[in-house]
Structure 1
Amino acid sequence: MVAGGHPASAPDVALSVRDLTVSLPVGMERLNAIEGVSFNLNRGQILCVIGESGSGKSMTASTIMGLLPRGMETSAGSITLEGREIVGMEAEELRSLRGRVVSMIFQDPLSALNPLMTVGAQIEEAMAAHGEGTAQSRRTRTVELLTEVGLPDPAMMYHQYPFRLSGGQRQRVMIAMALSLEPTILIADEPTTALDVTTQAQILTLIRDIQRRKGMSVMFITHDFGVVAEIADSVVVMEKGHVVERGEAAKVLKAPDHPYTKRLIAAVPHLRAEDRPREATASAAAEPLLKVRNLVKTYRSGSRLFRTERVVPAVQDVSFEVRPGHTLGVVGESGSGKSSLGRLLNRLMDVDSGKILFDGRDIAPLPESEFRSMRPKIQMIFQDPFASLNPRMTVGQILTVGPKAHGMSGSKAREEAMELLNLVGLDVRAFDRYPHEFSGGQRQRVGVARALMFKPQLLIADEAVSALDVSIQAQILELLDRIQRETGVAMIFITHDLRVASQICDEIAVMHKGRIVEFGRPSQIFFNPEADYTRQLVAAIPGERFDDKTTVPTQADTGT
């Protein structure tokens, strides 16, 4: 079937999209967010929509849900949902379909969850809005859902606020909320992007099992062909707002027709058997820039008096060193303490005990007034790019406000910001745009550029490429590697993707329940692990199973 043609009609179609075009506001880099998009989602099947950041995947889903942002509108086409045309449908009528007939798992769980409501109240709210059950039955159903998506201590989790959860835990809350009314159609927008490999495997299995058990139809948006190989019945490939290829999953994975599809498959990262060459980084004899000694951080919530206190050991007796020009990878499951460790090192949280020796000085006990002058030397790329970017500031202001506050002239700051936007793969016109105008992957690139504006000595990258498609991911990893070689910056690379860690890290620390359970070179960690926990992580990598199911095109095949 040609990319521009219509999918063949099917007698049992849950969702049909025909010639859908959504226009962008004047002044954007292209006229339409999506143009002439057509596909069918059959009942009881999983359709994966795949493409790079900005390809129109999420915009297609938002159009189906009737959630287009202001300034954008459906200019042409048709969307038929369970036989009902929804383009032009009244808002109240469309609202009655959301949740019960079609539900969505959003890409960014923190911005999609209400920070002032407990997770239990938010899940119950969706059921109450549709008049579902009694207060007691809704509470019981909510705890069941929290259990079903694999959250620890569901009864306690019911009372937690989103900010107390890790990124992966928040994503699982979103999945529970989307499934609360048992919709016939589920749209999942990158639901496993923020999850570690073992949890990703669990969530994929969960969605597939629910889909099969209930006969649910799933539109699964992703940028990872490893995920496609795990669950997809059929595939739609999108590039710059257009469908360039569609077909059965086995056919698209094994014998793709379009060059763009071949490039995406070839860009899927895989574990590297060889370690990063020592001569490519700073001398091993160099004095460590960072020494961490017996670091401890424990979270406490609830009341000891009323016996509701919850104690979570986030970081327990952690010690390591990082030398200039070297990269330490910190890997582990969601909730293992990786992000907490990064925030402790950047002094965004106070430590309970232990030492953080940066360039010979213990920064752990320093008051904020003394540490403020050192902040430019230790920069962080945050896990959640939307929550960490000020929505009221343009990208240009976000990039330049910090350097100007530390004495850089406005013209110099603007010049360096423009150079960094180009380096991270964004158009210079992004300088005058706001964060909400970008896709999740594009916002992550803004976060990378902001951290590099200070030319730091230590860069803490907390899931810096987790929201990026595989081709842009490779570009950002290459960029970070080149910057490190040129500047000698030390990096702590926090990630749940072991494939990515093997590409860029000199050493790997595996964290589990707040402790480092294994430490070593990537080749040893990934190909000869000693800890059972490490072996479990390696076994759950979707990209490696992908090799067993498909023939990955070589560079000669893709023309690259």
Structure 2
Amino acid sequence: MHLYAHPALDIDHLAIDFAGTRPAVKDISLRVDRAQILALVGETGSGKTMTAHAIIGLLPPTATATGSIRVDGVEVLREVEVVREVEVVRGVEVVRGVETSDPEVRQRCSPTSAASALLLRDPRSTLDPRHTIGAQLGEVLRAHRKTPRRDRRARALDLLDLVDFPDPQRYVDAYPHQLTAGDRQRAAIALAMATEPALLVADEPTATLDIGEQAALLALLRRLRDRTDVGILLITHDLGVVADVADRAVVVRGGQVVERAGVFEWFARPNAPYAKQLHAITPKLPAAMYGEDPLPELRTPILEVNHLHVAAAAGFGSDRRAAGAIPALRDVSLRIGPGSVLGVVGESGSGKSVLGRVVAGLTPVGLGRITFAGIDPDSLDRPGRRELRRRTALLPQDPATTLDPRLTVAESVAEPLLLWGEDGAVAKARVAEMLDAVGVGGRDADKRPGELTDGHRQRIALARALVLAPDLIVTDDPTRGLDVSVQASFLRLFTELRHRLGFAALYSAHDIAVVAQIADDVVILRRGRVVESGPARRVLTVPVEDYTQRLVDTVPYPDPVVQRDRHVAESGSPWV
């Protein structure tokens, strides 16, 4: 056991204000000890990210911050005159704040003792695509640790080994685009740990990862805590992640702390009404359902896929031959009944996105056959295929990339109708109907996407998808990255509209608990093949195949007792 003179982070009555607006942070106090993971839990607008920016020194010039933030015993936020040095090395931000009158503190904050590091949600904003991972690690070591050139590669290999790269010699010369999403996030952690920080601020680090990569990253954070004694401030809204890795939890809402407790106590007995609400709406896998699968429906399915085979797109450079070796989809068969939801679950590279693109008509069919409501598109002429395509809509993962930022909400929803030649007055009435159905109307109709929240933009994308009254909607993880309450609200809306309008859905997602909540049936994909299929509740609670069982077991359950039991069963230790 190591003894430290100061905690990794100590925040006392932090308040952040912008002139003429509601305070971003009203009153937040918290403490992160060395070798401790503290989860900062809250939804968008609660002040989590703004607190992280204050710790790292990234507040905009217009912000006024009061209170105290001490990182490894050093004050980094003062109302009096402070000399603040912020170094940015390829996206890795390290802040050190020192009082001009205290030479001892100034010495402690020299470039060889970086106090804190930031791990962002998307590692692509941290890693430079022009340089290898080893070169970027070497630059951080040169700038912050003054490591001699001859020693940088060896230290870079040590850092890659620290973050569990299986072959550091191979990955040290790789470029970011050659890595998987999980490997890129591990490389970003290696960059952060290169400064040997006392505090690691992790802002939603698992948000862009699939379920397998998420489990591996959470295990890595636990090991880093134990191996290096780094204190970790984990910013998240995922209670499963909190239950899996956190030692303590602090819940914030509206810029102030509403509850704080040890993680076991908080999950067992939440006190604040807001905390109880978060626990109630968090998606969970349902109780196990045993018995035989029900007989298939006799009605003509809306979508039927038979023995579909799609070749993978060729990769770049040295990856070209490997990418073409394994097909994206191999002998995939499935069916979706009228008004039902088929969930598609799998890790990155399993073929979920390719399947969705083929069904939506964005990727050509290789071998096999697809029919819509019993109609083979290949048997139709061009006008017939175009009319059939109108019966399928696409709901993307990130509406910010699909909604034209120049168009108003009403114009974005009306665009598909006008492209299909609908009369302007009819289109206007239909748009008003759909915006009212998704709960985005009134003044919001004249706003542009950039003026709205993520949840509202996703509702607009849903209205746009439904405006042509399709029989089938193909979704690509539409709730990924949304706050837990926004996600719950969107799923309720999706289910209500499905029952009211009668459309079916092919619902691809990484979050198995969400799929279990919304899908009637499920298909498990692995490397382009169907591993298992059947009723969602049976497959996701009593799976037949070992791979499905392993996939389900990686889902963080929002209960720390369950998570510790899982760790014990897997490794013999509750902390690995």
Distance 2:180 2:278 in 1: 29
Between the aligned partners of 2:32 and 2:563, the Cα distance in structure 1 is: 23
Task: Pick one of 39, 58, 72 that aligns with 1:67.
Answer: 58
1:18 matched to which residue of 2?
12
Q: Which residue of 2 aligns with 1:510?
A: 524
* Structure 1 residue 321: Cα displacement: 1.4
Deviation at 1:354, TM superposition (A): 3.4
What's the offset of the Cα at 1:37?
A: 2.2
Pick the aligned partner of 1:44 from 35, 38, 43: 35
Paired residue type of 2:11: V
- Aligned partner of 2:335 in structure 1 is 321
* Distance in 2 (alpha carbons) for counterparts of 1:157 and 1:290: 46
CA root-mean-square deviation: 4.2
Matching residue of 2:568: none
Please give the secondary structure, in 2, of the residue aligned with 1:320. Answer: strand
Structure 1 residue 23 displacement after superposition: 3.8
Deviations 1:486-507 (Å, cap 9, x if unpaired)? Answer: 1221111112222222111111
1:230-279 CA-partner distances (Å, limit 9, x unpaired): 2222211012322211232233222222111111112222222477xxxx
Structure 1 residues 516-539: Cα deviation after superposition (integer angstroms, max 9, x where no partner): 111111233123222110111222
Does the CA contact (< 8 Å) of 2:248 and 2:263 recur in 1?
Answer: yes
SS of the residue corresponding to residue 32 of structure 1 reads coil
Q: Which residue of 2 aligns with 1:337?
A: 351
Secondary structure of the corresponding residue to residue 301 of structure 1: coil
What secondary structure is seen at the aligned counterpart in 1 of 2:29?
strand
1:462 paired residue number = 476
The equivalent residue for 2:244 is 230
Residue number in structure 2 paired with 1:206: 220
Alpha carbons 1:333, 1:512 under 8 Å: kept: yes
Corresponding residue of 1:432: 447
Q: 1:85 aligns with which of 76, 79, 82?
A: 76
**Separation (CA, whole Å) in 1 of partners of 2:194 and 2:446:** 40
Q: What secondary structure sits across from 1:19 in the alignment?
A: strand
TM-score, normalised by the number of residues in structure 1: 0.79
1:51 deviation in Å?
Answer: 1.6
Could you report, residue by residue, the CA deviation over 1:21-50 in whole angstroms, capped at 9, with x for unpaired residues?
334686xxx723322222222232111011
Task: Summarize the Cα distance change of 1:508–1:56 in structure 2 as closer, same or farther, 3 Å threshold.
Answer: same
Contact 2:405 2:448 (8 Å CA) reproduced: no
Match 2:439 to one of 383, 407, 422: 422
What pairs with 1:41-440 in structure 2 (closer than 5 Å)? Answer: 41-68=32-59, 73-82=63-72, 83-86=74-77, 92-93=85-86, 95=88, 98-99=93-94, 100-109=114-123, 130=144, 133=147, 155=170, 159=174, 162=177, 171-273=185-287, 284-293=297-306, 294-303=308-317, 311-361=325-375, 376-388=390-402, 398-407=412-421, 409=424, 411-412=428-429, 415-416=432-433, 418-419=435-436, 422=439, 429=444, 432-435=447-450
Amino acid across the alignment from 1:432:
K
Deviates more, 1:104-113 or 1:527-536: 104-113
2:513 to 464, 487, 499: 499
Q: Which has the higher contact order (CA 8 A, sep 6+)?
A: 1
Scaled by the length of structure 2, what TM-score is found? 0.77
* Deviation by residue 1:188-212 (Cα, 9 ceiling, x = unmatched): 1121233333332221110111122
Bigger shift: residues 168-177 or 262-271 = 168-177
The answer as to 2:494 corresponding to 1:480 is yes
- Return the alpha-carbon distance in structure 2 between the equivalents of residues 388 and 47 of structure 1: 36
Residues 313-344 of structure 1, C-alpha deviations (whole Å, 9 max, x = no match): 43222121112211111112233222232233
1:538-549 residue pairs with structure 2 within 5 A? Answer: 538-543=552-557, 546=560, 548=562
Moved more, 339-348 or 39-48: 339-348
Q: Secondary structure at the match of 1:211?
A: helix
Secondary structure, counterpart of 1:318 in structure 2: strand
Query: Match of 1:285, as an amino acid?
Result: L
Matches of 2:124 and 2:384, distance apart in 1: 32
- 1:319/1:260 CA distance change after superposition, 3 Å: same
1:95/1:195 CA distance change after superposition, 3 Å: closer
Deviates more, 1:124-133 or 1:507-516: 124-133
Deviates more, 1:139-148 or 1:224-233: 139-148
Q: Which amino acid aligns with 1:191?
A: P
Of 530-539 and 329-338, the range deviating more from structure 2: 329-338
Q: Cα offset for 1:215? A: 1.0
Q: Hey, what's the Cα distance between the residues in 1 that align with 2:50 and 2:561?
A: 30
How far is the alpha carbon of 1:397 from its aligned partner? 5.4
Q: 1:289 to 1:24 in 2, by over 3 A?
A: farther
Kindly provide the CA deviation profile for residues 55-92 of structure 1, in whole angstroms up to 9, marking residues without a partner as x. Answer: 2222322333333468x623544433331324676675
User: What is the alpha-carbon distance in structure 2 between the residues aligned to residue 305 and residue 537 of structure 1?
Assistant: 27
Equivalent residues of 1:355, 1:364 under 8 A apart: no
Q: Which moved more, 1:526-535 or 1:393-402?
A: 393-402
Identity among equivalent pairs (%)? 36
Q: Secondary structure at the match of 1:380?
A: strand
Q: Distance in 1 between matches of 2:206 and 2:59?
A: 23
Name which one, 1 or 2, has greater alpha-carbon Rg: 2
Q: Structure 2 counterpart of 1:464, which letter? A: P
Partner residue of 1:280? Answer: none
Gaps of 5+ in 2: 95-113, 290-295, 565-576
Q: CA deviation at 1:135?
A: 7.4
Gaps of 5+ in 1: 1-9, 276-282, 551-560
How many matched pairs? 526
User: In the alignment, is the contact (CA less than 8 A) between 1:48 and 1:236 conserved in 2?
Assistant: yes
Whether contact under 8 Å (1:350, 1:364) holds in the other structure is: no
Structure-2 change in CA distance of 1:52 and 1:204 (3 Å): same
Separation of aligned partners in 2, 1:255 and 1:306? 53
Residues 69, 539 of structure 1: alpha-carbon distance in 2 compared, 3 angstrom cutoff: same
User: Aligned partners of 2:125 and 2:386: how far apart in 1?
Assistant: 28
Comparing 103-112 and 133-142, the one that deviates more: 133-142
What residue is the counterpart of 2:100 in the other structure? none
